[in-house]
A = this chain, B = another copy of it.
Amino acid sequence: MEASMFNDILQKKTKTIERIIRSFLPEEKGYQKTVIEAMNYSVTAGGKRLRPLLMEETFRLFGGKDEDLPLLEPFLAAVEMIHTYSLVHDDLPAMDNDEYRRGKKTTWNVYGQAMGILAGDGLLNFAFETALQALEFCSGTNREYLTTVPAPEYNLQRLTRALVILTKKAGIYGMIGGQTADIEAEQQEGALEPEQLLFIHEHKTASLIQASMMIGAVLAGVADEETVQAVEKCAYDIGIAFQIQDDILDVVGDVEELGKPVGSDALNHKQTYVTIHGLRQAEKDVEVLTDEAIGILESFGGDNDFLKELLLSLIHRRK
């Protein structure tokens, strides 16, 4: 696929995702208006919408049908809300103390720390409220959402699985677990164990990418454990490669493409994949992981051109 064509498609798809996410955001009114404003400010502050994009593309790859989009769309919005809440809490003074993100003031920096905490809580909670809309629809408790009701037993299993994946990959066995290990690693005196850094990268970064791709597959109708696990492995490779590339770019990249000063990890005495394994090994590992991810993707068959380009653009982003 040519780069210009890929970019055109990417832009179009991102626009659609953007519209879907915004359609699920809560209305800014009532005595709780401020927290809703802070939530919506955080969600609409930019971002590549990578997780919902991966979810939708994986859904399509496995033959997900248009008529099942009402089951998928709440999850597209929910995973982005969860990603956003994690950034909002991560930016707090008690955590990373970041005043700016993507050139805009962080949520606590606009609305104050208390509202920053509540906006994060609100987004995490609202993500589940949003994802549950798919279940409400499927169980017939909210019949307005669609005019036709698909077979409930079939969808129930898919939706239960999707909800369990989402909550598990976001929680202490997923993203929150990674955040915890990351914070402890920063306070740790000695060198990081390689497995410790891998745990952090896997949980802090790969978990939500895994959730996105697995949910896309499950909601498309993939039911066998083996295929779901292959999707999980593919997403693992992508997440780790993405994160190693991030560490590499901190050493060799330029400011614009990274969005933070080059060498900031070194200045912060942060231990990264590059400081632990060396630049050459890091670059080699990105290649190996990428090849494996693409290999798994191709084993699924189907039209994977765009998805493959998307993964390569993520992992190999340089300039």
Contacts and interface: CB of A to CB of B under 8 A. Distances in A.
Q: Which bucket holds chain A's interface residue count?
A: 35 or more
A32 interface: yes
Contacts of A26: 172
B114 A94 contact: yes
A160 B171 CA distance: 21
B160 A32 contact: no
Contacts of A163: 132, 135
A113 interface: yes
A36 interface: yes
Contacts of A114: 94-95, 183
Given A31-B199, A164-B136, A199-B31, A94 B122 contact: no
A170 B85 CA distance: 16
Interface of A is mostly: helix
Contacts of A31: 177, 180-181, 184, 196, 199-200
A205 to B, nearest CB: 14
Interface string A160-189: 110110011011110011111101100000
Interface in A116-134: 116-118, 120-122, 124-126, 128-129, 132
